[in-house]
């Protein structure tokens, strides 16, 4: 399948999606989002894909929603077509997905990165929600996810002023899991993704689902959910294999069963 705005590759068990609208700093238009969703759906169906890396260019992960496309949108069109809702697919993608962010991750770019499971940042990354400078506010989850990542005070400051955050601050405040030098970003993201993809896929998916539950429920409910899912893992062949391999002092051979 040929795409106009993204590059899709397979590296072993890892799916690699590179946003590729360099002239517009990977601004997210509806065509790009459609292509991204299609590529993700294919990786979701592919039994041989265990993890996905989503990245951009050295200058921009994505500079937000395409302002030129969005500028003439009317309220009625936005409402009728449920504008932005199709972007949420990334947050519902069931396999592990890592955002490898270099350069600008602004507005919808920051929101897209936050929909992934975690963010590996290059040392030149800049995160922000500058929508207020355009006369709007974040509309793809930014007011909610950024607040959960960095807390109310910092999220409020960023959304109300449009201030951007560098990679060091993003790591310090919990938005990025780690910062690596720019020239090592992709290699490191692929290495981490390969490690995840070598584990049991259903167990990784259940782990992801359980961690995400922490955002949606009380501690008691979350722990109950974790316990049920944890118990269910003892019905898997991969649990038997993982523990037998430890006891027998050998590497496990997970079969995703």
DSSP 115-171: HSSEEEEETT-EEE-GGGGGTS---SSHHHHHHHHH-HHHHHHHHHH--EEEHHHHH
Minimum Å gap between C-beta 146 and ligand LXKY6Z5U is 11
> With respect to ligand LXKY6Z5U, which residue has the nearer C-beta, 24 or 223?
24
Minimum Å gap between C-beta 50 and ligand LXKY6Z5U is 29
Q: What is the binding site for ligand LXKY6Z5U (CB under 6 A)?
A: 24-25, 27, 63-68, 84, 104, 106-108, 111, 130-131, 134, 138-140, 142
> With respect to ligand LXKY6Z5U, which residue has the nearer C-beta, 43 or 61?
61
Catalytic residue among 64, 103, 107, 108: 108
Minimum Å gap between C-beta 164 and ligand LXKY6Z5U is 8
Minimum Å gap between C-beta 127 and ligand LXKY6Z5U is 11
- Distances from the Cα of 116 to the Cα of 152, 190, 240, angstroms: 21, 15, 30
Residue 157, both tokens: 């400051």
Relative to beta strand 104-106, strand 60-62 is: parallel
131 is a catalytic site residue:
yes
> With respect to ligand LXKY6Z5U, which residue has the nearer C-beta, 14 or 122?
122
> With respect to ligand LXKY6Z5U, which residue has the nearer C-beta, 56 or 108?
108
Which residue from 50, 62, 51, 48 is spatially nearest to 98, judged by alpha carbons? 51
Catalytic residue among 65, 105, 122, 204: 65
Which residue from 65, 53, 31 is spatially nearest to 140, judged by alpha carbons? 65
Catalytic residue among 50, 111, 113, 139: 111
Residue 124, both tokens: 């030149």
- Cβ atoms of 51 and 15 closer than 8 Å: yes
Minimum Å gap between C-beta 30 and ligand LXKY6Z5U is 12
44 is a catalytic site residue:
no
Which residue from 48, 195, 61, 63 is spatially nearest to 120, judged by alpha carbons? 61
Catalytic residue among 131, 155, 170, 171: 131
157 is a catalytic site residue:
no
Cα–Cα distance, 249 to 257 (Å, whole number):
21
108 is a catalytic site residue:
yes
Catalytic residue numbers read 65, 108, 111, 131
């Amino acid at each position: 399948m040929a795409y106009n705005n993204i590059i899709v590759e397979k590296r072993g068990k890892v799916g690699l999606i590179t946003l590729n609208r360099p002239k517009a700093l990977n601004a997210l238009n509806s065509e790009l989002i459609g292509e991204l969703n299609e590529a993700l759906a294919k990786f979701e169906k592919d039994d041989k894909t265990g993890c996905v890396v989503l990245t951009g260019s050295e200058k921009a992960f994505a500079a937000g929603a395409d302002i030129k496309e969005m500028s003439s949108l009317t309220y009625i069109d936005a409402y009728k077509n449920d504008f932005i809702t199709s972007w949420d697919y990334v947050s519902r993608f069931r396999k592990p997905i890592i955002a490898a962010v270099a350069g600008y991750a602004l507005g919808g770019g920051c929101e897209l990165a936050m929909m992934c499971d975690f963010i590996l940042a290059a040392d030149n990354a800049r995160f922000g929600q500058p929508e207020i400078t355009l006369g709007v506010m974040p509309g793809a989850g930014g007011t909610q996810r950024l607040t959960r990542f960095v807390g109310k005070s910092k999220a409020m400051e960023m959304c109300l002023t449009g201030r951007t955050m560098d990679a060091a601050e993003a790591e310090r405040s919990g938005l990025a899991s780690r910062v690596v030098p720019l020239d090592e970003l992709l290699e490191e993201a692929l290495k981490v993704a390969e490690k995840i993809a070598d584990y049991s896929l259903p167990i990784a998916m259940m782990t992801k689902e359980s961690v995400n539950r922490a955002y949606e429920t009380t501690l008691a409910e979350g722990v109950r959910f974790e316990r049920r899912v944890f118990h269910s893992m003892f019905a898997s062949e991969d649990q038997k294999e993982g523990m037998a391999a430890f006891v027998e002092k050998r590497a496990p051979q997970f079969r995703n069963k």
